[in-house]
Every structure is written in structure tokens, then in C-alpha cells.
Amino acid sequence: MWGLQHYLKKAEYTEEHFHNRERWIGLRVPQTATEWADYATLSPFILTSGSDTWGAAAQILGSADTPHFTGYKWFDFHRALVVANTQNSIYRLQFIWSTVDAATGISEGSFSEFMFIRDAASSQRKIFETWSRKIAVGTKVWGRCWNATNLATVSLFCGLHEYD
């Protein structure tokens, strides 16, 4: 049975999560060995599918991309803003986190997924909720997508929260 302290801690985390500063990131141009994201860009990340399977993992966060605010120790992925996609069919997106590489994150089960369908010709942008546990700053993040069509792409920005 969970004790009162457990529930108080969960309530505090929930309060902090929903009353927090959200920051949106896009692709840093050019990237460095440790910096892949930019907080002041309109360049989206682009994920490419395989043929009815996962495409290659594309790096989204480098080890120096967090914290954005000095002294923060944790972050979570909160939302994805899809701004373009090439196919009018279901996409499956996966965000992977690890201090090593995407393959390690996958084998450790350190990933979260969501699915969507959006008309490729639409100019309407769609925001999707994503979920992750609290992740230590300095941890790298990758994204990859799955579509029935080989080389289908999705362009997106990511929203995250940081915690002290």
C-alpha cells in the first residue's frame, strides 16, 4: 500500500508539471557534437520512415542542450507540433532517451510513442501530447517514425519542461 508521503510527492510533481514553463525546440543549424536543438529556430526536426518499419533514429537533443535554465536537473518531453508530413496515412513516432545512443535507449525501454494521421496537403498544424518520465539533463534524445510508405517524412518541433 502506498503511504501518504508517496501521494504528496506525486501531487507536487503533477502540480509542477502543469504549472511550468514549456520551451519549444527545433533543429540547430549547424549541429555540434553535443548540441542538436535550438530554442530560437523555425527549422523543424525531420524524421524519415522505413518501408512499413522504423526509420533510422534522428538525434533531437544533444548532451549540452539541457538544461536551458541554469540549475535545473530534469526535463520531460511534453508535446510534438507536426508541421508537415508526406503521406496521408498513419504514422507512429517514437522518442528515445539515453546517455549512450538510441539503440541502448531502445534496449532499456527508455522510449515513448504516439500515433497520428494528418492530411499531407493540410496547412493546419497539429499538436500532439507526448509522455516521458523525468529525464536527467544532459541525456540525449532521438526520434524515429514508422509509416507504410518507405521514406515517408514528418517534420516537427518538440516541447519540453525542465525541473529543478
Q: What is the pLDDT of residue 157?
A: 97
Assigned C-alpha cell, 13: 510533481
CATH number of residue 68's parent domain:
2.60.120
Task: Give the lowest-confidence range in 37-41, 83-87, 128-132, 152-156.
Answer: 128-132
Residue 76 domain-assigned (yes or no):
yes
Residue 17 domain-assigned (yes or no):
no
Among 143, 137, 140, 142, smallest CA distance to 161 is for 137
What is the Cα–Cα distance from 39 to 15, expressed in whole angstroms? 24
- Residue 93: strand pairing partners: 114, 145
The tens digit of pLDDT for each residue in 37-87 reads: 999 999 999 999 999 999 999 999 999 999 988 999 999 988 999 999 999
Q: What percent of the chain has pLDDT over 90?
A: 70
Residue 148 domain-assigned (yes or no):
yes
Q: What is the pLDDT of residue 78?
A: 86
Note whether 93 and 80 are within 8 A (CB).
yes
Find how far residue 84's CA is from the centre of its chain.
16
Residue 41 domain-assigned (yes or no):
yes
Residue 2 domain-assigned (yes or no):
no
Q: What is the pLDDT of residue 164?
A: 85
What is the Cα–Cα distance from 151 to 142, expressed in whole angstroms? 17
Task: Give the lowest-confidence range in 10-14, 29-33, 115-119.
Answer: 10-14
Among 30, 52, 42, smallest CA distance to 84 is for 42
What is the Cα–Cα distance from 105 to 97, expressed in whole angstroms? 5
Residue 13 domain-assigned (yes or no):
no
Chain mean pLDDT for the chain = 89
Q: What is the pLDDT of residue 36?
A: 95
Q: How confident is the model at residue 122 (pLDDT cuts 50, 70, 90)?
A: confident
Residue 12 domain-assigned (yes or no):
no
Domain that holds residue 51: 22-163
| Number of domains, the chain | 1
